[in-house]
């Protein structure tokens, strides 16, 4: 028993066996490919179809209703193999005859049994299972959030089975592959068969035609090797397909989870995807600018993402290459996406064009010893407890640990703090305004100075590179203890014992006339010599040095002045 | 050296001349032409003919018209154009020369 199909060929209706139909469809398909680039190609195909219809008509009658596989084979024998159609001056193309013979299964969306887009039914047809199972799987994936996205992608990527041939291919009428695992097994089996075939041919050759040319044997060995390689590559291709799909899925899953839960971290950064979007919001001007960058990001990532998944599916399922409209659409989205991203980035960059700062001076109560530590609150403690990044979001507030502290010698006898708040903006005026968006707190209780480790950005304001530089000015003779908590904010503090910042914490430092020195340490030798000198002249070296410098500059100026009169005279004469 | 290939090339070279002269006698549709050529053993497989007919038509040596058929859809009837007639006489002359030349050389 055979299933039959009804076809319209050259204006005639034929009943044709399913397997015969498949062969005929393949044949015509191959001819179409062959004549695709020929002028009047579709006309040639049309003529051929009419002729085949005539030949079929001769083979059917009252006694015989159905076109069988034999009929099709006979007709193809009459019409000739695709290679025979080539003009004499054209080289026969090997691939064409190959594609005619290959009849592997392909993935299509099944429009006949579809619920939404026919993706599940198509997959079910490919794997020879009930669509219900696939649908349940999709439904399960739907709950985890990315099933929907995956469905849409499959819907776009997999073509719909339009012709009967495609529907047959979808079910794999000829290659009986029930699932991916089996198809890989088949591939392995094919390699095995190939070996067997070859062995058989080789033995036949040896015993029956051993007086033939040796070259024939070599060409067979060559064919065998090429065929084996082809099969091995197909197998590797499928493995790559899985790999690509896996990567695509992982990206998809992490994107979706990150978008909704914000819990996925970029490797090692401590920030998640939702933080990334918050960050964009912080550096942009307003909603429109944010949307511009967001649209750019989405458009620019569509193509690579789509291609990874497409490639994965294609390698596994034997899908057609991307068609031209899709390719140009992907190019367009990428170009537009990149353009939007660049525009958005430049626009954001301009917000950081100019610098401005405001200075605040805080007098300290008179003491000979101070204790310097970080003002510890909940946020500061988070920073101190191994949060290594600068930007911290808590309760919808943005904290930045862009705070630095330096210790310098006070010119007078009073100790004081100088707090410089810096910010950037598109122009100086805006930059100056942006310094005011910073909220920070310091506390001075008697001799204990508590400085901020971070600042908070005022609600609904944007980050504009705000930075706080605190300088503690100590008069000579006073000392300061650097608490362990200071480790993160002290920055390149000049000291005459030349200790690195990380060696300075947990110790007391004394302000000598030469600069900061660790308490109890001896003055370095070069200062000791100077000290004896300065003792005799009764002025501190700190004071003499600038005097000497200014002397130098004066003498330079005098030299310059000697040169200037010439030009002055010259001016006068004019 | 593939003799079959050479034979096929010989036939292919003369095929255009045969088609044109068939059509000079009377207009014909593809199956008629095929039937004649097959009888004369000019072609082995029919596939060869269709690209050739289309090429001749595109070169404006042939034209076709649709004619109703009693046993099915309309048929394509090919006929010779003015240009086709000129081409035929040229090909015919060159064929005659070729036959003469070949027989002269092969007859020692």
Instruction: Say what the ipTM of the complex is.
Output: 0.84
> Is A44 at the interface with chain B, CB within 8 A?
yes
CB A399 within 8 A of CB A378: no
Q: Which residue of A has its CA nearest to B11?
A: A88
Output the pLDDT for position A105: 67
Rg (CA), chain A: 41
Residue A472 to residues A405, A445, A451, A455, B40, Cα–Cα distance (Å): 8, 15, 10, 18, 112
Residue A65 to residues A8, A10, A13, A14, A59, Cα–Cα distance (Å): 15, 17, 11, 8, 9
Q: Do B34 and A51 touch (CB under 8 A)?
A: yes
Output the pLDDT for position B71: 72
CB B52 within 8 A of CB B78: no
Residue A467 to residues A187, A345, A487, Cα–Cα distance (Å): 64, 21, 17
Length of chain B counted residue by residue: 108
Residue A1 DSSP class = -
Classified as helix, coil or strand, A42 is helix
> Is B34 at the interface with chain A, CB within 8 A?
yes
Count how many domains chain B has.
1
B39 min Cα distance to partner chain A (Å): 14
Q: What are the structure tokens assigned to B51, written together? A: 């690209």
A318 min Cα distance to partner chain B (Å): 30
A321 min Cα distance to partner chain B (Å): 28
Q: Which residue of B has its CA nearest to A10?
A: B73
Q: Which 3-state string (H, E, C) describes B43-95?
A: CCCHHHHHHHHHHHHHCCCEEEEEECCCCCCCEEEEEECHHHHHHHHHHHHHH
Of A299, A283, A305, A292, residue with least CA distance to A338: A299
Cα-flanking dihedrals φ and ψ of residue A201, to 5°? -60, -40
> Is B83 at the interface with chain A, CB within 8 A?
no
Output the pLDDT for position A239: 78
Q: Name chain B contacts of A43, Cβ cutoff 8 Å.
A: 54
Which of A39, A40, A84 has its CB closest to that of B45?
A: A84
Q: Which helix (H) or strand (E) holds A27?
A: helix A18-35
- Rounded to whole angstroms, the Cα distance separating A14 from A415 reads 106
Those residues whose C-beta lies under 8 Å from the C-beta of residue A15, and which sit 6 or more positions away, are A4, A5, A6, A65, A66, A67
Q: What are the structure tokens assigned to A472, written together? A: 């503690």
Count of H-run helices and E-run strands, chain A:
17, 17
Output the pLDDT for position A451: 92
- Rounded to whole angstroms, the Cα distance separating A285 from A236 reads 50
Output the pLDDT for position A571: 42
A59 min Cα distance to partner chain B (Å): 15
Percent of chain B surpassing pLDDT 90: 11
Cα-flanking dihedrals φ and ψ of residue A176, to 5°? -90, 75
Q: Do B52 and A87 touch (CB under 8 A)?
A: yes
B50 min Cα distance to partner chain A (Å): 6
Residue A547 to residues A58, A540, A543, A559, Cα–Cα distance (Å): 120, 11, 7, 18
* pLDDT tens per residue, range B56-99: 888 888 888 888 877 777 888 899 999 999 999 999 999 999 89
Percent of chain A surpassing pLDDT 90: 11
Q: What are the structure tokens assigned to A442, written together? A: 């310091």
Q: Do A57 and B72 touch (CB under 8 A)?
A: yes
Q: Do A88 and B9 touch (CB under 8 A)?
A: yes
Q: Do A54 and B31 touch (CB under 8 A)?
A: yes
> Is B57 at the interface with chain A, CB within 8 A?
yes
Output the pLDDT for position A163: 63
Q: Do A51 and B46 touch (CB under 8 A)?
A: yes
CA terminus-to-terminus distance, chain B: 24
Q: Which residue of B has its CA nearest to A48?
A: B50
Residue A487 DSSP class = G
- Rounded to whole angstroms, the Cα distance separating A178 from A533 reads 98
In this prediction, the residues of chain A whose per-residue pLDDT falls under 50 are 88-103, 173-180, 207-210, 263-264, 533-574
Q: Do B71 and A48 touch (CB under 8 A)?
A: no
Q: What are the structure tokens assigned to A564, written together? A: 């200037």
Output the pLDDT for position A95: 37
- Rounded to whole angstroms, the Cα distance separating A227 from A98 reads 12
Query: Domain containing B33 — which CATH number?
Result: 1.10.10.10
CA angle, residues B6, B9, B13, in degrees to nearest 5: 145
E strands in A46-159: 66-67
Of A230, A248, A226, A252, residue with least CA distance to A314: A248
Q: Which helix (H) or strand (E) holds B31?
A: helix B30-39
Q: Do A40 and B45 touch (CB under 8 A)?
A: no
Q: Which 3-state string (H, E, C) describes A436-462?
A: HHEECCCEEECCEEEECCCEEECCCCC
CB A467 within 8 A of CB A422: yes
| Mutate which: A31, A41, A50, A73, vs B, most B CBs within 10 A | A50
Helix spans in A461-540 (H): 525-537
* Strands A369-374 and A448-451, sheet pairing: parallel
Helix-strand-coil percent breakdown of chain A, rounded to 5?
Answer: 55, 15, 30
Q: Name chain B contacts of A48, Cβ cutoff 8 Å.
A: 47, 50
> What pairs with residue A482 in β-bridges?
A372, A507
Q: Which residue of B has its CA nearest to A28?
A: B47
- Rounded to whole angstroms, the Cα distance separating A470 from A405 reads 5
Length of chain A counted residue by residue: 574
Average per-residue pLDDT for chain A: 76
Those residues whose C-beta lies under 8 Å from the C-beta of residue A216, and which sit 6 or more positions away, are A205
CB atoms within 10 A of CB A551: 10
Domain that holds residue B23: 3-106
């Amino acid at each position: 028993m055979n299933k039959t199909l009804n076809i319209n060929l050259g204006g005639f209706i034929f009943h044709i066996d399913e397997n015969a139909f498949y062969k005929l469809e393949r044949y015509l398909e191959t001819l179409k490919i062959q004549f695709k680039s020929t002028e009047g190609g579709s006309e040639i195909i049309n003529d051929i179809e009419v002729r085949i219809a005539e030949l079929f008509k001769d083979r059917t009658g009252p006694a015989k209703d159905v076109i069988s596989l034999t009929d099709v084979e006979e007709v193809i024998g009459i019409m000739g193999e695709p290679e025979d159609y080539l003009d004499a001056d054209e080289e026969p193309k090997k691939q064409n005859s190959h594609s005619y013979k290959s009849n592997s299964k392909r993935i299509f969306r099944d429009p006949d049994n579809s619920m939404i887009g026919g993706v599940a039914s198509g997959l079910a047809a490919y794997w020879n299972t009930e669509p219900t199972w696939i649908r349940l799987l999709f439904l399960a994936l739907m709950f985890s959030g990315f099933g929907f996205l995956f469905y849409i992608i499959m819907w776009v990527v997999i073509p719909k089975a339009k012709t009967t041939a495609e529907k047959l291919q979808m079910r794999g009428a000829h290659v009986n592959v029930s699932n991916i695992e089996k198809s890989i097994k088949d591939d392995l089996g094919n390699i095995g068969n190939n070996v067997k075939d070859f062995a058989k041919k080789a033995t036949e050759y040896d015993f029956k035609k051993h007086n033939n040319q040796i070259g024939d044997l070599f060409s067979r060995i060559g064919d065998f090797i090429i065929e084996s390689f082809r099969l091995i590559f197909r197998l590797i291709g499928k493995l790559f397909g899985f790999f690509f799909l896996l990567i695509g899925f992982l990206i998809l899953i992490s994107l979706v989870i990150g978008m909704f839960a914000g819990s996925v971290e970029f490797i090692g950064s401590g920030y998640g995807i939702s933080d990334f979007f918050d960050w964009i919001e912080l550096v942009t001007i307003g909603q429109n600018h944010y949307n511009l960058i967001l649209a750019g990001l989405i458009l620019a990532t569509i193509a690579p993402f789509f291609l990874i998944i497409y490639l994965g599916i294609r390698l596994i399922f034997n899908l057609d290459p991307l068609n031209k409209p899709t390719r140009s659409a992907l190019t367009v989205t990428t170009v537009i996406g990149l353009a939007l991203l660049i525009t958005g980035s430049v626009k954001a960059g301009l917000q950081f064009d100019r610098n401005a700062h405001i200075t605040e001076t805080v007098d300290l109560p008179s003491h000979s010893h101070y204790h310097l530590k970080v003002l510890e609150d909940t946020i500061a403690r988070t920073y101190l407890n191994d949060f290594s990044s600068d930007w911290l979001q808590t309760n919808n507030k943005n904290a930045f640990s862009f705070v630095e502290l330096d210790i310098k010698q006070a010119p007078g006898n009073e100790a004081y703090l100088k707090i410089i708040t810096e910010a950037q903006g598109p122009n100086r005026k805006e930059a100056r305004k942006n310094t005011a968006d910073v909220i920070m707190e310091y506390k001075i209780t008697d001799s204990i100075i508590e400085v901020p480790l971070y600042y908070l950005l005022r609600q609904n304001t944007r980050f504009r590179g705000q930075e706080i530089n605190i300088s503690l000015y100590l008069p000579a003779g006073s000392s300061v203890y650097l608490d362990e908590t200071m480790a993160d904010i002290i920055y390149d503090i000049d000291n005459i014992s030349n200790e690195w910042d990380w060696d300075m914490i947990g110790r007391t430092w004394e302000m000598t006339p030469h600069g900061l020195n660790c308490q109890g340490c001896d003055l370095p030798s070069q200062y000791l010599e100077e000290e004896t000198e300065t003792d005799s002249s009764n002025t501190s070296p700190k004071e003499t040095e600038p005097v000497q410098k200014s002397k130098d500059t004066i003498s330079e100026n005098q030299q310059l002045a000697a040169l200037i009169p010439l030009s002055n005279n010259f001016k006068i004469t004019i | 050296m593939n003799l079959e290939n050479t034979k096929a090339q010989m036939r292919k070279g003369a095929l255009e001349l045969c088609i044109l002269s068939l059509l000079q006698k009377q207009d014909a549709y593809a199956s008629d032409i095929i039937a004649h050529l097959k009888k004369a053993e000019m072609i082995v497989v029919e596939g060869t003919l269709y690209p050739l007919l289309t090429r001749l038509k595109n070169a404006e040596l042939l034209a076709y018209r649709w004619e109703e058929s009693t046993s099915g859809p309309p048929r394509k009837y090919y006929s010779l154009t003015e240009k086709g007639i000129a081409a035929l006489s040229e090909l015919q002359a060159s064929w005659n020369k070729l036959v003469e030349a070949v027989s002269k050389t092969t007859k020692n």
